[in-house]
Amino acid sequence: MITNHDEEIISEIADFNTLTLVTAAYTLYEKLSTKKPISKREFYKEFGDNLQSFKKIFSEDID
């Protein structure tokens, strides 16, 4: 049986997975639209910047 606490943890994991997927997709879209290759380091930086932006947007939509 899943407890309320377990359900909250599962929900947080699902939300984070969704957020991560959206962030990665947006990062790729942003970079592919410029038609210039980016390094792994650049990708990681952009991903982090976009993750913070999407976290803010995501939390606004939930609240």
For 1-53, how does the pLDDT look when each residue is reduced to its tens digit (9 = 90+)?
889 999 999 999 988 898 888 888 888 888 888 777 778 888 888 888 988 89
Q: What is the pLDDT of residue 8?
A: 92
Q: Is pTM beyond 0.75 here? A: no
Closest among 10, 13, 14, 21 to 54, alpha carbons compared = 21
Residue 63 has pLDDT above 80, yes or no: no
Q: CA geometry: angle at 9 spanning 3 and 51, to 5°? A: 165
